[in-house]
Structure 1
Amino acid sequence: MKRKTDIPWEEFDPSNDEEFQRNLEKAFFEDEPKEQIELNHNEDIQWIDIEASVKGKEESKHNTYDNIHDFHENAIEFATSNEREYDNFELYEKAVHSIVNQELMDAQEEVKQTDKLSSEEEDIISEISRSLAKQIDPGLAVEEAMELPLEGEKPQESLRRRRLKQIGIPILISLGALLLSVCLLLFTKAGQSLLIHLGANFVAGKVNYDDGSGHKVEIIPEITDVPTDDDIEKNKEDVQLGTNNGTVRHEDYAVNILLLGEEAIFSGNSRGRTDVMMIATLNSKEKSIKLTSLMRDLYVQIPGYQDDKLNAAYTVGGIPMLFNTIELNFDLKLDGYCLVGFDDFEKIIDKLNGIDITLTSSEANWLNTTNYISNPNYRTVTAGLNHMNGNQALGFCRIRDVASGTKELNDFGRTSRHRTVLDTIFQKYKSLNYWDLAMLMNSCLPMVTTDLDAKELETYIQLALDIGLTKLEQLRIPANGAYEDAYISKKSVIIPNLQKNIEVLHTFIFGAE
């Protein structure tokens, strides 16, 4: 592996210090931290002086051993070859060994002294080692300071402080990483996109998916209404709905989702009636969110079936039939739907901890004296502002025989109440923090049925956030002056002027031409 320096660090190990070697390796090898380790000019000079000193002492040590070995060999060889010149060879040999041993002891002492660097050199090496370590890991500087006992600090206090460091530093690092992640998610476009993507997949995994492909056409029994004074008896043949434009309109800048409330009382295993029908529009061109109520008593053409009330289309053929009916009568293409049963609607209100609704004295009296509030214990509302639970709010939505606060009667007053309740829910959702909203969605989404998949949900959530959840613009169809009340086949109906209502509806949803 190529090194970043030509200094032969393997030879530079006077103290056998493992930490020193480890720091040198980190500084000189490319597969360790990438920060460039630079020593100042004085340290460079000190490196050269120390290296030269160590090399010289190492050479001196080896030379000393070599000289002793040569002396011993030469002395014994000389004594052996000149044995006759000595009266006692053994005494001579002992003398040689004695001298050699003494020389060896002196050499060993010299080597020990050679191996010991001067105190100045030790300080330099220690300082360089610490400098390298801190450049590789700045946290070592903090740890080093934490390890030293403070002035006047007791051993137990020092031990507690070190333990606090061992526990506290990882916690602080984790909290810092978490805070950084939250900031990246909330305050960067990429982070927000990731959150929306995860949120859409979360929603898609919680709701009940039903694209309506399994919905079959059913024959429904005739339901008769009691006529009111405003109803005019008419034959089907005399009804003139007018004609639509024949072109279903859809614009890329406007997303239309059909919101449905299903009343399934006495329906058994069959589909109920969609007594609540609203079109929620996300208009990116106008940066607006709009809500259009379609009254259930609208007398419309149901494809492949006899003319009937709009809410009968779902009962006859499910979601596909209802979509086709709205497209046929109002020239409007829908992008999807969300459906909630009335019983689940009540539960959703309760999970919101109730909503605040203002009642007229007539509305309060009606709710307290009828079974619109199904639980008698909750028939305690009063004129003015009431904090209603789910059972009370559902009873309020069903009122049609008493004028609303906007002086509207019959189905007009009822749909007005629907919009009031939905707007109140919308405002309350907006006031929730992220955590409470996530918990609420987790418990409420399983009560929702939709044909929107995760990708579509992600697109629409992003669109809603881009528009801004500020306020809801509202409309009712039929529009004022574009309908008449009638009584057909023993049912109270509203006969719309299709051309006028299409014009009003399209202008509201798509904007003026």
Structure 2
Amino acid sequence: MTKCNPKNIPEADDILENDDEIEVISDDPEEKSEEETDTVRSVKKKRKKWPIVLACVLGGIIIVIAGLLVALNIVTGGFRSKELNKDDLGIVETTTAATNKDNTKKITKITNIAFFGIDTRDFLPEIGDQYRSDSIIIMSINPMNNTIKMTSILRDSKVPMQGYEPCKINSAYQKGGPALAINTLNTNFQLDIEDYVTVDFGELATAIDIVGGVDIELAYNEAEMVNFYSMDEMHYYDSFAYPGWNHLCGAQAVSYARIRNLDTDVFRASRQQTVLTALFDRIKATPKSEYPALITQLLGCVETSLTYADIISIVSSIDVSSAELIKNTVPDLNYQPSVWGGYDESIDAWVWIYDLDYAAYRVHTIIYGTEGNGEGETEVETVDPNTSDVTY
């Protein structure tokens, strides 16, 4: 074991072995002057003091290390980390992958993480404890320009899926958990996602309450739906939302994110991004001195394949307080050609069908290129996918 020795502090044995620093004293008592006798006493005192000094220094280091371990244990309390087998993830190698020699992550380039929002109320006994992912977002952290990009994949997208017939992408999580959900993203959009974060909508409400709520602007019909969902599904009756800007609690914000029948899946994905952006803004506004306590609470609200060391590496790779959050959606109706939306008899569900090769190109342009997000929405062509010439 290598000895820990503070800089410029010689070890006790070094003092005894260094002839240049210690004057040789005669053994003859008669030859010893009073000055020499004092020198002998001084050396003896030094011999006794150095072990004491070293013991104190080493003891201090041990205390610091123990304190860090205790702090780490506190910070990771309630932290649910689930390891994945990378062979199951369909990872497409890109030039942006970066690892150290010891195979630990080194965040020097863009890192993609899958974010899944699930609703544990959608329980199907025949499936077990797996649920459909109502929210699917590719989170891309870019320390080179201090940005975080959120690319939502519409949950009704019909895609090929390993081991299954083509079906809605949100069912991948239900059929094979986070591993199959990541595999489906990687293989269809040519990505290198290795990790995921999953949050239940109930836990998302808790996370929002932890930061003190979020500010969101509501349209008239959105306010009505927020009030309906927050009372009917979240059992929240303390206050009402109104058209315009509102400071929403967790139950109200999640109700806003889960509005189903008001418009299209495109707007639903946009609302989910709005909630996450508002949550991120609240975190950015939190004093850095409060980060440890905040992280402790927020980590208890998620399940992830990331280790605590991974999270620290990612967070330290960017300046959270000034990071820019950029939102996109795929298919993006401003860019994606030939997008079909309609009822699919083969899976008995409404789906989005579009050119996945072009969608993969678009995703790469968003993540690795310089294009921003398109705003607005174009007319959607509704067709019968059962008679269309779309291929997978």
TM-score of the pair, normalised by structure 2: 0.68
Q: Which residue of 1 aligns with 2:177?
A: 318
Q: Deviations over 1:229-286 (max 9, x none)?
A: xxxxxxxxxxxxxxxxx96546132100111111121415431111111111112344
Whether 2:273 is the aligned partner of 1:419: answer yes
**Quick one: distance in 2 between partners of 1:469 and 1:201?**
29
CA contact (8 A) 1:250 1:332 kept: no
Whether 2:330 is the aligned partner of 1:477: answer yes
**Quick one: distance in 2 between partners of 1:310 and 1:11?**
88
CA contact (8 A) 2:76 2:296 kept: no
CA contact (8 A) 1:378 1:392 kept: no
Partner amino acid for 1:396? Answer: Y
SS in structure 2 of the partner of residue 412 of structure 1 = helix
Q: CA deviation at 1:29?
A: 6.4
1:256–1:439: structure 2 CA closer, same or farther, 3 Å change rule? Answer: same
Matches within 5 A, 1:172-251: 206-212=78-84, 249=94, 251=96
**Quick one: distance in 2 between partners of 1:376 and 1:31?**
72
CA contact (8 A) 2:206 2:301 kept: no
Partner amino acid for 1:410? Answer: T
Q: Which residue of 1 aligns with 2:115?
A: 259
Of the candidates 28, 33, 49, which is equivalent to residue 8 of structure 1?
A: 33
Gaps of 5+ in 2: 1-15, 17-21, 27-31, 51-59, 98-108, 372-392
CA contact (8 A) 1:331 1:502 kept: yes
Q: Which residue of 2 aligns with 1:496?
A: 354
Partner amino acid for 1:273? Answer: R
TM-score of the pair, normalised by structure 1: 0.53
**Quick one: distance in 2 between partners of 1:270 and 1:425?**
27
Q: Which residue of 1 aligns with 2:242?
A: 382
1:202–1:376: structure 2 CA closer, same or farther, 3 Å change rule? Answer: closer
CA contact (8 A) 1:367 1:379 kept: no
- Identity over aligned pairs, percent: 26
SS in structure 2 of the partner of residue 301 of structure 1 = strand
CA contact (8 A) 2:115 2:138 kept: yes
SS in structure 2 of the partner of residue 358 of structure 1 = strand
**Quick one: distance in 1 between partners of 2:232 and 2:329?**
24
Of the candidates 129, 136, 145, which is equivalent to residue 270 of structure 1?
A: 129
Tell me which structure has the larger Cα radius of gyration. 1
The answer to which structure has the higher helix fraction is: 1
Gaps of 5+ in 1: 13-20, 35-177, 186-194, 217-245, 403-408
Q: CA deviation at 1:24?
A: 9.4
Q: How many pairs were matched up?
A: 309
**Quick one: distance in 2 between partners of 1:433 and 1:463?**
18
Partner amino acid for 2:170? Answer: N
Whether 2:366 is the aligned partner of 1:508: answer yes
Q: CA deviation at 1:461?
A: 2.6
Q: CA deviation at 1:462?
A: 2.7
SS in structure 2 of the partner of residue 367 of structure 1 = helix
SS in structure 2 of the partner of residue 276 of structure 1 = strand
Q: Which residue of 1 aligns with 2:306?
A: 452
CA contact (8 A) 2:217 2:243 kept: yes
Of the candidates 282, 295, 298, which is equivalent to residue 157 of structure 2?
A: 298
Q: Deviations over 1:474-497 (max 9, x none)?
A: 111112242221111331111122
Of the candidates 295, 298, 307, which is equivalent to residue 441 of structure 1?
A: 295
Partner amino acid for 1:433? Answer: P
1:266–1:247: structure 2 CA closer, same or farther, 3 Å change rule? Answer: closer
Matches within 5 A, 1:54-65: none
Partner amino acid for 1:473? Answer: I
1:301–1:200: structure 2 CA closer, same or farther, 3 Å change rule? Answer: farther
Q: CA deviation at 1:198?
A: 9.7
Partner amino acid for 2:351? Answer: V
Q: Deviations over 1:354-408 (max 9, x none)?
A: 1111111121123234556532514611111211111111111111333xxxxxx
**Quick one: distance in 1 between partners of 2:251 and 2:114?**
24
